[in-house]
Copies of this chain bind each other. A is one copy, B any other.
Amino acid sequence: MTQTVQPRETAIATVHATLAEAFGDRIQTGAAIRAQHANTATGRGTQAPDMVVWPESTEEVSLILRTCWAQGVPVIPFGAGSSLEGQLNAPQGGVSLDMSRMAAVLETHPEDLLAVVQPGITRKRLNEELRATGLTFPIDPGADASVGGMCATRASGTNAVRYGTMADNVLALEVVLADGTVIRTGSRAAKSSAGYDLTRLMIGSEGTLGVITEATLRLRGIPETVLGGIAAFPDLDSAVSAVILLVQMGLDIGRVELLDAMQIRACNAYSKLDLEETVTLFFECTGTEVVAQDTAETFAEIARDAGATHIDWSTDPDTRNKLWAARHDSYWAALALRPGCKGLVSDACVPISALAENISAAQADLEAKGLIGTILGHVGDGNFHVVLMTDPEDAEEAARVEDFLHAITLRAQAAGGTCTGEHGIGQGKMGALAEEVGPALVAMRAVKAALDPKGILNPGKIFAMTDGAA
């Protein structure tokens, strides 16, 4: 298994020649296709891979990894292309592993509230395929991300306040390790104390420890009653106070999302709503009719006490779905406020007691730095985003943007929080991670070196293997 060091070009050519034989037209090297498989969702730069391969089975993924392992060529798993921190870029070139042809629901076990799926399936498609079972997979980042990508970034979204994140909703994985070894982690039992939690080690590892080829997901029953509504507030502080209170009361709310006035304006324009343009909480209460109604009334009481000027909810699915579709499109709605702009999104997550202060500081800093951005977030988790609309050609603005994002991270870390609640580190937050975890970076590097000693899996992401390296 020892390999002589080869020039990069030779190694890439060897990998291409080997894979071309096995994959035919399921391996591509055209510039457009390669560019589409790098980071495209944000204003961060694009670093294309050398080739894109579409595997159709775990065995094919293993073959690709064995081939790349032998030649020391990077492999970057690709789901739906919706990651926000440059996770899909190929700074050292290599093979983009497009998982879109591994997108089947392999098994459903409605009686156990489980499904086994391939990583390329997107969350919307998954829930369509589950419809007949009366069950749903509740984790919903705004984007129609792939399950594999959601695992890789430890994604969450609007339902996390009730159901947790991907870390709480994936029971088991099939993973291909760097050298092509296929392992299975976890089981179909609801809990386990059987050895190291490799499932949760893989969840959030952003493709740097293995390629996920199968996931066993916890499903939930579609609640008997869903009440969805809005609460309008005069300012950020009063809206955030309401959220803090409901979290501290332990109220079992289904969802509670904050959108500032500018985000509401963006949603009104983009999603044809006619909401009052003020700070607004979107909320949802679920359960039996009695429970959902009782929860909504308790929430309304809290919101009114905090200063809500208008509270309204409905069980009508069309009304609710329109609201939540608008919430999910809010990133694109925000970008549409400034035609031609590119987006960059902050992702701080803080202890709930620090939320009001962190959001207010961000809002003040937006104004101070003369930047254009909306504020929204999964406030029940203490997680909020500022969506910045940036001009990619304006270097001076870009510097202000980086300062702004760095300040958000520093404030969150000082409050005992984290630079990223759900988007991951990718390339964008490597410095922030190093500051946040300190000596624990040594342990992360040791784990990486143990499972991927050649460093072929998504290199240049999360952390550098040595201090000072990029």
Q: How far is the CA of A200 from the CA of B165 in the complex (A)?
A: 14
Contact stretch, chosen from A97-105, A181-189, A312-320, A398-406: A181-189
Q: A177-B443, A221-B249, A248-B111 are in contact. Are A417 and B187 (CB under 8 A)?
A: yes
A252 at the interface (CB under 8 A from B): yes
Question: Is the Cβ of A294 less than 8 Å from the Cβ of B298?
Answer: no
Q: Which of B177, B183, B192 contacts A349 (CB 8 A)?
A: B192
A220 at the interface (CB under 8 A from B): yes
Please encode chain A, from 170 to 205, with 1 for each CB lying within 8 Å of some chain B CB and 0 for all others: 000000010001111101111111111110110111
Say how far A385's CB is from chain B's closest CB, in angstroms.
13
Please encode chain A, from 431 to 445, with 1 for each CB lying within 8 Å of some chain B CB and 0 for all others: 001001111111110
Please encode chain A, from 409 to 428, with 1 for each CB lying within 8 Å of some chain B CB and 0 for all others: 00011011111111111000
A250 at the interface (CB under 8 A from B): yes
Q: How far is the CA of A433 from the CA of B197 in the complex (A)?
A: 13
Question: Is the Cβ of B189 less than 8 Å from the Cβ of A382?
Answer: yes
A325 at the interface (CB under 8 A from B): no
> Which of A184, A351, A383 has most B Cβ within 10 Å?
A351
A255 at the interface (CB under 8 A from B): no
Question: Is the Cβ of B112 less than 8 Å from the Cβ of A353?
Answer: yes
CB-defined A-B contacts under 8 Å, sample of 14: A111-B353, A114-B351, A167-B200, A168-B168, A190-B349, A191-B421, A193-B204, A195-B463, A196-B201, A200-B200, A201-B201, A201-B447, A252-B287, A450-B450
A311 at the interface (CB under 8 A from B): no
Please encode chain A, from 231 to 255, with 1 for each CB lying within 8 Å of some chain B CB and 0 for all others: 0000000000000100111101000
> Which of A110, A347, A416 has most B Cβ within 10 Å?
A416
Q: How far is the CA of A187 from the CA of B437 in the complex (A)?
A: 9
Q: Which of B189, B424, B438 contacts A416 (CB 8 A)?
A: B189
Which residue of the partner chain B has the closest CB to A462?
B195
Question: CB-CB < 8 A to A451: which residues of B?
Answer: 443, 446-447
Q: A201-B200, A450-B446 are in contact. Are A154 and B193 (CB under 8 A)?
A: yes
Q: How far is the CA of A318 from the CA of B439 in the complex (A)?
A: 48
Say how far A245's CB is from chain B's closest CB, in angstroms.
10
Q: How far is the CA of A23 from the CA of B346 in the complex (A)?
A: 49
Say how far A299's CB is from chain B's closest CB, in angstroms.
12
Question: Is the Cβ of B167 less than 8 Å from the Cβ of A382?
Answer: no
Which residue of the partner chain B has the closest CB to A444?
B196
Q: Which of B165, B194, B295 contacts A191 (CB 8 A)?
A: B165
Question: CB-CB < 8 A to A187: which residues of B?
Answer: 349, 413, 416-418, 436
